[in-house]
Amino acid sequence: MKTFQEVIDLWRYPSVLAADIGAKPATVEKWRQRNEIPGRHWMAIAMAAKDRKFPLTVEILARIGAAISDK
Protein backbone atom coordinates (compact mmCIF):
# COMPACT_ATOMS: atom_id res chain seq x y z
CA MET A 1 0.00 0.00 0.00
CA LYS A 2 1.40 3.35 -1.03
CA THR A 3 -1.48 5.82 -0.73
CA PHE A 4 -4.22 6.71 1.71
CA GLN A 5 -6.65 6.16 -1.17
CA GLU A 6 -5.62 2.50 -1.20
CA VAL A 7 -6.14 2.36 2.56
CA ILE A 8 -9.68 3.72 2.28
CA ASP A 9 -10.41 1.37 -0.64
CA LEU A 10 -9.75 -1.62 1.63
CA TRP A 11 -13.24 -0.94 3.00
CA ARG A 12 -14.72 -0.91 -0.53
CA TYR A 13 -16.88 2.13 0.30
CA PRO A 14 -15.84 5.22 2.29
CA SER A 15 -19.12 5.01 4.20
CA VAL A 16 -18.14 1.62 5.63
CA LEU A 17 -14.83 2.96 6.94
CA ALA A 18 -16.67 5.99 8.29
CA ALA A 19 -19.08 3.76 10.20
CA ASP A 20 -16.21 1.68 11.58
CA ILE A 21 -14.43 4.72 13.04
CA GLY A 22 -17.38 6.96 13.88
CA ALA A 23 -16.73 9.55 11.18
CA LYS A 24 -19.01 11.12 8.61
CA PRO A 25 -18.98 9.43 5.19
CA ALA A 26 -18.40 12.80 3.50
CA THR A 27 -15.30 13.31 5.63
CA VAL A 28 -13.81 9.98 4.60
CA GLU A 29 -14.65 10.69 0.95
CA LYS A 30 -12.78 14.01 1.21
CA TRP A 31 -9.78 12.19 2.67
CA ARG A 32 -9.88 9.84 -0.31
CA GLN A 33 -10.08 12.69 -2.81
CA ARG A 34 -7.16 14.48 -1.12
CA ASN A 35 -5.13 11.30 -0.46
CA GLU A 36 -4.94 12.41 3.16
CA ILE A 37 -5.91 10.86 6.49
CA PRO A 38 -5.19 13.02 9.55
CA GLY A 39 -2.85 11.29 11.98
CA ARG A 40 -5.33 11.56 14.85
CA HIS A 41 -7.46 8.92 13.06
CA TRP A 42 -4.72 6.40 12.34
CA MET A 43 -5.15 4.37 15.53
CA ALA A 44 -8.91 4.01 15.03
CA ILE A 45 -8.38 3.00 11.41
CA ALA A 46 -5.70 0.47 12.34
CA MET A 47 -8.00 -1.02 14.99
CA ALA A 48 -10.91 -1.19 12.54
CA ALA A 49 -8.63 -2.85 9.98
CA LYS A 50 -7.55 -5.42 12.56
CA ASP A 51 -11.21 -6.20 13.34
CA ARG A 52 -11.80 -6.81 9.64
CA LYS A 53 -8.54 -8.73 9.26
CA PHE A 54 -7.13 -6.21 6.77
CA PRO A 55 -3.33 -6.04 6.45
CA LEU A 56 -3.00 -2.52 7.84
CA THR A 57 -1.15 -1.14 10.85
CA VAL A 58 -0.34 2.26 12.29
CA GLU A 59 3.20 1.74 11.02
CA ILE A 60 1.93 1.38 7.46
CA LEU A 61 -0.16 4.54 7.83
CA ALA A 62 2.87 6.39 9.18
CA ARG A 63 5.02 5.18 6.27
CA ILE A 64 2.42 6.42 3.79
CA GLY A 65 2.15 9.74 5.60
CA ALA A 66 5.92 10.17 5.63
CA ALA A 67 6.19 9.36 1.91
CA ILE A 68 3.51 11.91 1.08
CA SER A 69 5.07 14.63 3.21
CA ASP A 70 8.50 14.02 1.60
CA LYS A 71 7.14 14.95 -1.83
pLDDT digits (tens, 9 = 90+) for 27-65: 999 999 999 999 999 999 999 999 999 999 999 999 999
Q: What is the DSSP string of 6-53?
A: HHHHTTSSHHHHHHHHT--HHHHHHHHHHT---GGGHHHHHHHHHHTT
Domain boundaries, the chain: 4-69
Instruction: Band the pLDDT of 23: cuts 50, 70, 90.
Output: very high
pLDDT at 70 over 90: no
Indicate yes or no: pTM above 0.75.
Answer: yes
The whole-number pLDDT of residue 69 equals 80
